[in-house]
Chains A and B, each alone.
Chain A
């Protein structure tokens, strides 16, 4: 385990300057090297800082409260020390290596674990650099393999090394494969592995010039940020973290004189004004936070296509930068999201349907275009899919029964608050509360109409296009070649209405894509179109 080669480590890590020289050196190092190596020694600086930041609220609390704060906070300080020590220990016990066949990561002191990712199973490579990483010229490399396997994470390589590694991991195999192949090639086992070091160097150099830019974020599109649900989620998360910090710092909100006086002066203004002020403040905070969240995660978003390597690259981020590479053959389609406020502003977002990307959090790794004008997003989708007009395909409507089900279901849900309001009106004896019950019912009708209008599907030469939803409207374009199974599902009520849900199971994205409430007679035809040649034998 201690047999790492200090020369290579220094050669790669010692000189942070970007350039062909470093790239070439990395490429030369990369293929034949079977040495176990450690992550960048600069990570020894990152670990303590990271732990201190994590315990920052407690430390501030200790400073504010002083000795009066009580004994239990000192334990947090000791905890911080232990965490720092463990972080340092982790550096000494974590090693990785490459060879022609696989990437391996070994970690742990007593309980040693080795994670291996076979080269031909690598589906995506993700390079993330937090502001701390960037200050030290480091980056974290995540290597995504097939679904369900544990992710291989190399936290702390020097930035040029990480970038070169990303290029190399995805492109060495792809270089020999036919590049104009629009469909999925044969299984990865057949893909050739690049051999000589000279070839590696020349590939690195060629690639940079072959990147074709598909999408670049225009700063003016930040105007879509307040309409995006992602911003709202980010805002809520920040609220939760803020509340945690206030609690941990030992500040007692209820007994604070300043908070008390603000509250009592608000009470003096009258309830109606207070509610209006509250809503305006909340809206303002939401707008600021969602714009902030959008800028932080998507600033400088670029999506490029690399023809020779057969992959797509995205890069984004203001403080924490993130670069993701997706293998083109693993891309099974795209998903257009038009959630409600964004749709009203004629905006949309685009995600990739692909294998090997862990959709942790809000599925950011598979984002192909953040909130942007709808036509720009559609153009991006066309370029990514290589088939123009997939999202503009006229969709087949699902008929009267499906439409009726949209209305009954939407109204059924909205009837609950309506009935509650009427019951409340009887209980307190005020008729106007009962009249308010009209509002949820009107909302139900609007919702049902929106859902009925959205519902539809189409089959094209390559894809299944399915759209549904009112508030979170989604249009999925899934490659039919990617289907591993097809299902026809019908509940008791669906059977009575003469409709069924057709399900396409695939290894990519959300694993299953549903076409909701297709008329029963058309459901089998659709299943046959999804899996041609397999369904007909089971017909009556």
Chain B
């Protein structure tokens, strides 16, 4: 008997968000490679290898990773527990009782703000028991945080 997937996908805008992230990284790498070859530091086959690597980052980062990640990253909050799924090569399912949740944080990077997305991080008393939901739209993130905060306020035993 296996576990089913968590009920919710993250926001569909997350795909564009992740693609933009890798796009920005690719552009920076491209600029570095161009600068390197114009100054004369990158010559011969190294030059082509560098541009090939940049192209690979752009194609995989913009074309493959966001779609794959969107299919894999799922989450669910029930009345008793939180359940997340992450990772594509190494898949990781995590379940934590709401009573053991210690803090709930939201985080918005500059690119995430552009797409009105948030990352919700749920921490437990264990340094290795953190759960992250990346790419939630802002309204959902606020709702989740509110729900979790309300649920954790009533629970007393954090098992430290």
- Chain B contacts with A in 57-104, Cβ cutoff 8 A: 76, 78, 80-81, 83, 89-97, 100
Contact stretch, chosen from B32-40, B125-133, B138-146: B125-133
How far apart sit A331 and B52, CA to CA, in the bound complex (Å)? 55
Known: A511-B126, A534-B97. A485 touches B131 (CB 8 A): yes
Residues of chain A with a CB closer than 8 A to B159's CB: 184, 481-484, 506-507
Q: Does B160 contact A (CB under 8 A)?
A: yes
Q: Does B124 contact A (CB under 8 A)?
A: yes
Q: Which residue of A lies closest to B82 (CB)?
A: A485
B160 touches A330 (CB 8 A): yes
Residues of chain B with a CB closer than 8 A to A492's CB: 89-90
- Chain A contacts with B in 172-187, Cβ cutoff 8 A: 184, 186-187
How far apart sit A524 and B94, CA to CA, in the bound complex (Å)? 11
Q: Which residue of B lies closest to A534 (CB)?
A: B81
Minimum C-beta distance from B69 to chain A (A): 15
How far apart sit A503 and B95, CA to CA, in the bound complex (Å)? 10
Known: A148-B127, A534-B80. A485 touches B94 (CB 8 A): yes
Contact stretch, chosen from B2-10, B11-19, B20-28, B42-50: B2-10
How far apart sit A537 and B126, CA to CA, in the bound complex (Å)? 23
B91 touches A484 (CB 8 A): no
What string of 1s and 0s marks CB contacts (under 8 Å) between A497-540 and chain B?
Answer: 00000010111000110000000110011010001011101111
A484 touches B95 (CB 8 A): no
Query: What is the total of A-B residue contacts with beta carbons within 8 Å?
Result: 124
Size band of the interface chain B makes with A:
20 to 34
A540 touches B2 (CB 8 A): yes
Q: Which residue of A lies closest to B79 (CB)?
A: A537
Q: Which residue of A lies closest to B90 (CB)?
A: A491
Minimum C-beta distance from B117 to chain A (A): 24
B126 touches A187 (CB 8 A): no
B160 touches A538 (CB 8 A): no
Q: Does B1 contact A (CB under 8 A)?
A: yes
- Chain A contacts with B in 330-370, Cβ cutoff 8 A: 330, 355
Residues of chain A with a CB closer than 8 A to B94's CB: 485-488
Residues of chain A with a CB closer than 8 A to B114's CB: none
A485 touches B90 (CB 8 A): no
A485 touches B92 (CB 8 A): no
From B81, B124, B156, A505 is in contact (CB under 8 Å) with B124
A146 touches B92 (CB 8 A): no
A489 touches B91 (CB 8 A): yes
Q: Does B158 contact A (CB under 8 A)?
A: yes
B129 touches A512 (CB 8 A): yes
How far apart sit A512 and B126, CA to CA, in the bound complex (Å)? 8
A485 touches B3 (CB 8 A): no
A520 touches B92 (CB 8 A): no
What string of 1s and 0s marks CB contacts (under 8 Å) between B109-137 and chain A?
Answer: 00000000000000011111101000000
Residues of chain B with a CB closer than 8 A to A146's CB: 125, 160
B2 touches A524 (CB 8 A): yes
Minimum C-beta distance from B151 to chain A (A): 13
How far apart sit A488 and B85, CA to CA, in the bound complex (Å)? 9
A538 touches B4 (CB 8 A): yes
From B95, B125, B157, A486 is in contact (CB under 8 Å) with B95
Residues of chain B with a CB closer than 8 A to A148's CB: 127
- Chain A contacts with B in 457-492, Cβ cutoff 8 A: 481-492
How far apart sit A485 and B127, CA to CA, in the bound complex (Å)? 11
A538 touches B124 (CB 8 A): no
What string of 1s and 0s marks CB contacts (under 8 Å) between A355-396 and chain B?
Answer: 100000000000000000000000000000000000000000
Residues of chain B with a CB closer than 8 A to A481's CB: 159
Residues of chain B with a CB closer than 8 A to A491's CB: 89-91
Known: A187-B158, A483-B159, A489-B92. A511 touches B129 (CB 8 A): yes
Known: A484-B100, A527-B95. A186 touches B2 (CB 8 A): no
How far apart sit A503 and B90, CA to CA, in the bound complex (Å)? 14
Q: Which residue of B lies closest to A527 (CB)?
A: B95
How far apart sit A355 and B80, CA to CA, in the bound complex (Å)? 25
Q: Does A147 contact B (CB under 8 A)?
A: yes
Residues of chain A with a CB closer than 8 A to B6's CB: 538
Residues of chain A with a CB closer than 8 A to B95's CB: 485-487, 527, 531, 534-535, 538
A490 touches B90 (CB 8 A): yes
Q: Does A495 contact B (CB under 8 A)?
A: yes
A147 touches B1 (CB 8 A): no
Residues of chain B with a CB closer than 8 A to A485's CB: 94-97, 100, 124, 126, 129, 131
Residues of chain A with a CB closer than 8 A to B100's CB: 483-485
Minimum C-beta distance from B155 to chain A (A): 10
Known: A524-B3, A533-B80. A487 touches B126 (CB 8 A): no
B124 touches A484 (CB 8 A): yes
Residues of chain A with a CB closer than 8 A to B156's CB: 186-187, 189
Between B78, B96, B131, B156, the greatest number of chain A beta carbons within 10 A of the residue's beta carbon is seen for B96
Minimum C-beta distance from A101 to chain B (A): 18
Between A189, A483, A520, the greatest number of chain B beta carbons within 10 A of the residue's beta carbon is seen for A483
Minimum C-beta distance from A399 to chain B (A): 17
How far apart sit A184 and B125, CA to CA, in the bound complex (Å)? 15
Known: A184-B159, A492-B89, A507-B160. A520 touches B129 (CB 8 A): no
**A-B contacts besides A485-B96, A511-B129, A534-B97, 9 pairs, CB < 8 Å:** A147-B125, A147-B127, A330-B160, A484-B124, A484-B129, A507-B159, A524-B2, A525-B1, A535-B95
Which residues on A are within 8 Å of B, measured CB to CB?
Answer: 146-148, 184, 186-187, 189, 330, 355, 481-492, 495, 503, 505-507, 511-512, 520-521, 524-525, 527, 531, 533-535, 537-540
Give the 9 A-B CB pairs with smallest separation, nearest first. A505-B129, A507-B125, A512-B128, A485-B96, A485-B129, A484-B124, A505-B126, A484-B100, A511-B128
Which residues on B are within 8 Å of A, measured CB to CB?
Answer: 1-4, 6, 76, 78, 80-81, 83, 89-97, 100, 124-129, 131, 156-160
A-B contact pairs, 27 of them (CB 8 A): A147-B125, A147-B127, A148-B127, A186-B156, A186-B157, A484-B100, A484-B125, A485-B96, A485-B97, A485-B100, A485-B126, A486-B96, A487-B129, A488-B92, A488-B93, A489-B91, A489-B93, A492-B89, A506-B126, A507-B126, A511-B127, A511-B128, A512-B126, A534-B80, A538-B4, A539-B2, A540-B1
